[in-house]
Amino acid sequence: MNRFTLFIISIILLSSCRDPYYGDLGSPSDKIEAISGSWLLENVLQIDEKAPDKKQLDLSNFYQNFIITFDKDSMTFQMDTTDLISGKNYFGNSGKWDLYNSQLSQYDNVYPDRISLENNNTVLDLFLLNPPTIFDDNLNLRYVRKCEDDQVVSYEYRFVRQ
């Protein structure tokens, strides 16, 4: 029994000594190109960060025809809120935008985890809930409101490419 077990273990060890496969992953997709264009707000969720069960409230009915357009050439955004019913526009009407990587503490167009919107010298940081690609038709953003550095409420915005 011992010889058989040693034989099996030696076969497993020898077969695992192969060179690993190194494939070409290709270059990362252009995130600026992925985000640029017009996006229609489809869904808004308000999440109570202090509640034990993180209660969610759907606010989508208050945001009809809420469109944001990102221009990749001038790195500006424009908000169309002409049909805004009664939802609050935290984004601002227009301004500059950039991609940011909080782990590197710098602006990063390759592996961003946030998008920064600057409007009237006010910067709004929105977390990217999924990595943007040119193939995706959804852009999911999260805005966290704080009170004395404590997360109180957050808003999850789901946009659809136009």
Number of domains in the chain: 1
What pLDDT score does 140 carry?
A: 94
Q: Which residue has the tokens 């946009």?
A: 159
pLDDT in tens, 47-90: 998 888 888 999 888 877 888 999 999 999 998 876 666 667 78
Q: Region 113-138: what's the mean pLDDT?
A: 88
**CATH code of residue 148:** 2.40.128.280
- Contact residues for 126 (Cβ-Cβ < 8 A; gap 6+): 114, 115, 116, 117, 141, 142, 143, 157
Domain holding 121, by residue range, is 32-161
Residue 144, in any domain of the structure: yes
Query: What is the DSSP track for 64-103?
Result: SS-EEEEETTTTEEEEE-TT--S----S-SEEEEEEEETT
pLDDT at 102 > cutoff 80: no
Considering the entire predicted model, what is its pTM? 0.76
